[in-house]
Structure 1
């Protein structure tokens, strides 16, 4: 059985990794999403919007799948310009949650690096919102979170003595 959620977030797929940016209105989700897509594309890597502002999440089989609402497919807000169109993915697996937060913590505890959505536990990265840190710092934190999600599991070592 599959359940569905409709959440306030922006969904992206960056080189195969599906992520959502969560945060209150005005925290910079859309601008950060546009910046991330531009940076991935500049590196020759695929980057697609899933949905801006509202993301449909299907829960099934212990996995989460993102979809755009049909009336906002491929549309994202660029404040100062209005609604702009970007290439989008009609569906993508969700691997990572980026929460735009109010403070920059120097060293993070392990328990803040996971979250639950629809009964599924996911990796999480708290990233300070625009104005707390600059966009370059935000992108670096997100790149590290993506690298952690995609890192191979540690190899179990057998004691040799």
Structure 2
């Protein structure tokens, strides 16, 4: 699926063919989503955890905004797709500064989820997964206070997520 800048309004997107069918098979999450090299990275976590801030760091590094605050997920065959709700497309909160309007992409296939928050404590955790609409995707952790978090996410998209070698 090629990424593109939106050329239609969200109301036109909602009225697109299959929109009624899609709505019945959709779930909304309190999450931010960005597209890194065309792959959707869904940032989840508690309110105030730093999802939007980490999203802005990724956008500053070349990612494109998909959604902020609320992310809609739907199935497309074996893939999970993320998009913004009708009224939030192209908007992201810059905490303490207001709402920014940015270029965005209509949707992106989900590569993985990222649980945003303070470190979990384990240096080498077992792989974790999140399942939505019957599709599982890898779940990474990222601390928005760690300056390497955005780099970790970009590198995970480019080279695959971190893992624990058998020899460790």
Q: How far, CA to CA, are the matches of 1:142 and 1:91 in structure 2?
A: 18
**Kept after mapping to 2: 8 A contact 1:7/1:54:** yes
Match of 1:139 in 2: 150
Equivalent residue number for residue 7 of structure 2: none
Instruction: Spell out the pairing of 1:2-151 with structure 2 (5 A cutoff).
Output: 3-40=25-62, 47-103=63-119, 104-110=121-127, 112=128, 114-128=129-143, 130=144, 133-134=145-146, 136-149=147-160
Gaps of 5+ in 2: 1-20, 162-168
Query: Is the contact between residue 9 and residue 20 of structure 1 (CA under 8 Å) also seen in structure 2?
Result: yes
CA distance in 1, matches of 2:36, 2:56: 11
Partner Cα distance (1:105, 1:147) in 2:
24
Total equivalences in the alignment: 138
TM-score (norm 2): 0.74
TM-score (norm 1): 0.77
Q: Secondary structure at the match of 1:30?
A: helix
SS at match of 1:89: coil
Q: CA deviation at 1:148?
A: 4.3
Residue equivalent to 1:156: none
Instruction: List 4+ stretches of structure 1 deviating above 6 A.
Output: none
The structure showing larger relative contact order (alpha-carbon pairs under 8 Å, at least 6 residues apart) is: 2
Q: CA RMSD in A?
A: 1.8
